[in-house]
DNA sequence: GGCTGGCACTCGCACGGACTGAGTGCCAGA
DNA sequence: TCTGGCACTCAGTCCGTGCGAGTGCCAGCC
């Protein structure tokens, strides 16, 4: 029906205007600013229907309309077209990320870049350990019985863990241990590492068994520990800019961002197909994020998803633009990590 | 003169009351809440003098008085006594920091702890590389000509850097390189590393010279690079709580906190004698911090300062309490790092 | 049947005046 | 040198009014 079609145009126009002006939008302004081909009165009728269906709402009786979460959802799903990045923006991404010197640097730059492109808070997850493979394991002796185990993954992540051994170990033991560990684990996915421990223990020379057991335990623990899925957050200053969209206070949101676990869950639940995921307002489940939207996507090398990245902002945000930025940055980071 | 003495008591009372209530404090309230032994009228005379001297000011004509930066300065320097931490707080520090599993973890816990104790934004600097010593250097071959150099310091910091070599290297070369590097640098202060490079180059076998040169260059670069002085920031949610103390917006402050360089300079300029440093309002030089105070102190093992840590908050803060907390945490972190 | 112009109605908000009360400075007296 | 008294100042609050944006509804038109 032609009706429905026009009503959707009206919804789109409302979202666009509201996002850019932050004023509830009325029928008259809408008719003036958009070529809808009908009079304000007709738009009013459409708005009444849209409101009844729950896509828009009025803050108070004599005000214009504002999109609801449901309205934004419809907008994102059916009304927004892909907004390609400008050449300048693509250029900026390259310029910004090239010259990064290690993983820490790459992710630090990524988060700043994303915050700058979207004017929102950006979050980037470190490549998940469980999906990474072992590039090298290093054992450094700290004292007689304390060893430092250093894990280097193929994604460039470096993790360390102090291991206390039951007894003093010799320099030769350390060297043997290093050889054994690398033979067993190098190239293996960390997710599979746990399964290799029994084999390793069987083949290890008896006098090293205890040592190998202690060190493998630390290794497996390192990757199982969910706290080890790190997160980089940046651009919180952008929150101050949009403070007006968060009545009450920014506090719950800032707290949620510090509570890495919460954000981690959001960011790491990425679509396996590589699509950009948008969670709007109440869809976020976590209370502190009820007034916020999260745009996230997985990044990876080739077919392997390494982690997630995305942005957090008010529900009143430029979804098409932010989705494009998030996707572009993820793609570029994926490439960058594949090279190294 | 007894006069001066009482005037200082009045200033102290004003600071204490204002910090706890955030209301400009008047002569009557002061006389009621503190045993100054004189009438409000007398206090008014003292206040007039204090105002003339620039220690306090009135937001508007018919309001009470508020301390100026200069007033807080006098309070910190002469009027505040050390406020020992409660047993519960000491206990909390121990409980919080024990069980940390690596340096990253220690500093993460420290920043959270400090934010929680002081209800302010906390910042902790990673142990400065230049003051650390090399515990171990590891070389991992990524591809034929790309090496990953991993530096482990005696403070538990692990840094990595990718080194592109002019030509392919063999496995034996890598092993030799590792031995050479560790022989030359292990145990040396990183600040002295640059000076050891020429010697190392002289003694290195000719076929390894180019390799050693490339890798040493990367090493020296890593430690010279000031960007490598990392920072952990936490408790920004506390800013929202004290938003009222920052009239314009939190934005400049949040930006300054993200601009690590700015904060780094503040935090790393610590007193060599180990005293807690307080910078109040305008004393901070940096514009965005004009309305903020910074309380910082160096932490270290024994006589060696490794880095700085501290808090950032509104000028209206509990100086004695925060100074005590910062000092206690720094002391504990120093111990913790000395052990490992 | 759908669109449009007209119209009465609602209600948030900005403006302005009056009031209140906390706090001050000053002065005369103890 | 301190104190009580007193006149004065002025930010914040409350309240009433007017304005204007925006709506819903209805009768008429295509």
Q: What is the pLDDT of residues B5-30, one digit of tens each?
A: 899 999 999 999 999 999 999 999 99
Output the domain CATH number for residue B138. 3.30.390.60
- Is the domain of B152 the same as that of B93? no
CB of A140 less than 8 A from some CB of B? yes
- Is the domain of A200 the same as that of A244? no
Q: Residue B54, CB half-sphere, CA atoms under 13 Å: how many?
A: 4
Beta bridge partners of B151: B137, B159
Q: Which nucleotides of C are covered by protein (CB under 7 A)?
A: 2-6, 10-12, 21-27
A251 with B237: Cβ contact below 8 A: yes
DSSP category for residue B128: P
Other C-beta atoms closer than 10 Å to the C-beta of B143 total: 10
Note the pLDDT of residue B340: 64
pLDDT at A289 over 70: yes
Q: DSSP of B147-197, one letter per residue? A: EEEEEEETTS-EEEEEEE-SS---HHHHHHHHHHHHHHHTT-BHHHHHHHH
A150 with B162: Cβ contact below 8 A: no
pLDDT at A33 over 50: yes
In chain B, positions 180-239, which contact chain A (CB-CB < 8 Å)?
A: 234-237, 239
B340 with A258: Cβ contact below 8 A: no
SS (HEC) of A120-183: CEEEEECCCHHHCEEEEEEEEECCCCEEEEEEEECCCCEEEEEEECCCCCCHHHHHHHHHHHHH
Note the pLDDT of residue B1: 46
Output the domain CATH number for residue B36. 1.10.10.10
Q: Are A115 and A96 in contact (CB under 8 A)?
A: no
Note the pLDDT of residue A40: 93
Does the C-beta of B38 come within 7 A of strand C? no
Please count the structural domains in chain B: 3
Residue B194 binned pLDDT confidence (cut-offs 50, 70, 90): confident
Q: pLDDT above 70 covers what percent of chain B?
A: 98
Residue A220 binned pLDDT confidence (cut-offs 50, 70, 90): confident
**Nearest residue, CB atoms, B258 vs list A158, A160, A234:** A234
Average pLDDT, chain A: 90
Q: How close are the terminal C-alpha atoms of chain B, in Å?
A: 54
Q: What is the pTM of this model?
A: 0.89
Instruction: Let me know if residue B80 belongs to a domain.
Output: no
Note the pLDDT of residue A340: 64
State how far residue A152 is from chain B, nearest Cα, in angstroms: 9
Interface test with A, best of B98, B99, B100, B102 (most A CBs within 10 A): B102
Given A224, A247, A273, which residue is the final one in a domain? A224
Chain A partners within 8 Å of B241 (Cβ): 251
Rounded distance, CA A69 to CA A66, Å? 10
Instruction: Let me know if residue B77 belongs to a domain.
Output: no
Note the pLDDT of residue A253: 94
- Is the domain of A91 the same as that of A140? no
- Is the domain of A237 the same as that of A332? yes
Of A248, A244, A238, A200, the residue nearest A220 (C-alpha)? A200
- Is the domain of B216 the same as that of B244? no
Output the domain CATH number for residue B329. 3.30.450.40
Instruction: Let me know if residue B9 belongs to a domain.
Output: yes
- Is the domain of B144 the same as that of B124? no
Does the C-beta of B29 come within 7 A of strand C? yes
Instruction: Let me know if residue B48 belongs to a domain.
Output: yes
Instruction: Let me know if residue B78 belongs to a domain.
Output: no
- Is the domain of A235 the same as that of A334? yes
Rounded distance, CA B33 to CA B115, Å? 30
CB of B314 less than 8 A from some CB of A? no
CB of B310 less than 8 A from some CB of A? no
Does the C-beta of B66 come within 7 A of strand C? no
Interface test with B, best of A112, A127, A158 (most B CBs within 10 A): A158
Instruction: Let me know if residue B79 belongs to a domain.
Output: no
pLDDT tens by residue, A231-276: 999 999 999 888 888 877 889 999 999 988 889 988 888 887 889 9
Residue B248 binned pLDDT confidence (cut-offs 50, 70, 90): confident
- Which range of residues forms the domain containing residue A29? 1-68
């Amino acid at each position: 029906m032609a009706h429905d079609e026009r009503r959707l145009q009206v919804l789109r126009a409302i979202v666009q205007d509201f996002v850019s002006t932050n004023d509830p939008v009325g029928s008259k302004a809408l008719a003036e600013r958009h070529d809808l081909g009908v009079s304000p009165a007709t738009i009013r009728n459409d708005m009444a229907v849209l409101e009844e269906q729950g896509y828009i709402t009025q803050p108070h009786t004599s005000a214009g309309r504002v999109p609801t979460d449901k309205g934004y959802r419809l907008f994102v799903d059916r009304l927004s077209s892909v907004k390609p990045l400008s050449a300048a923006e693509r250029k900026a991404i390259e310029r910004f990320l090239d010259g990064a010197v290690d993983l820490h640097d790459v992710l630090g730059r990524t988060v700043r870049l994303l915050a700058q492109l979207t004017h929102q808070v950006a979050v980037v997850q470190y490549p998940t350990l469980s999906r990474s493979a072992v590039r090298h394991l290093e054992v450094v002796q700290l004292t007689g019985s304390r060893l430092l185990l250093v894990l280097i993954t193929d994604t460039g992540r470096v993790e360390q863990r102090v291991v206390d051994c039951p007894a003093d170990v010799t320099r030769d033991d350390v060297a043997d241990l290093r050889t054994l560990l690398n033979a067993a684990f190098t190239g293996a996915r960390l997710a599979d590492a746990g399964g290799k421990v029994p084999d390793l223990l069987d083949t290890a020379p008896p006098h090293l068994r205890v040592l190998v057991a202690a060190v493998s335990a630390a290794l497996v623990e390192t990757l199982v520990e969910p706290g080890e899925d790190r997160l980089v957050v940046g651009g919180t200053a952008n929150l101050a800019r949009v403070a007006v969209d968060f009545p009450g206070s920014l506090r719950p949101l800032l707290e949620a961002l510090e509570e890495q676990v919460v954000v981690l869950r959001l960011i790491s639940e990425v679509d396996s197909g590589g699509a950009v995921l948008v969670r709007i307002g109440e869809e976020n489940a976590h209370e502190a994020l009820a007034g916020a939207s999260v745009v996230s996507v997985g990044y990876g090398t080739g077919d392997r998803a390494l982690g997630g990245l995305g942005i957090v902002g008010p529900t009143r945000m430029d979804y098409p633009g932010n989705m494009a930025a998030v996707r572009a940055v993820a793609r570029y980071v994926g490439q960058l990590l594949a090279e190294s």
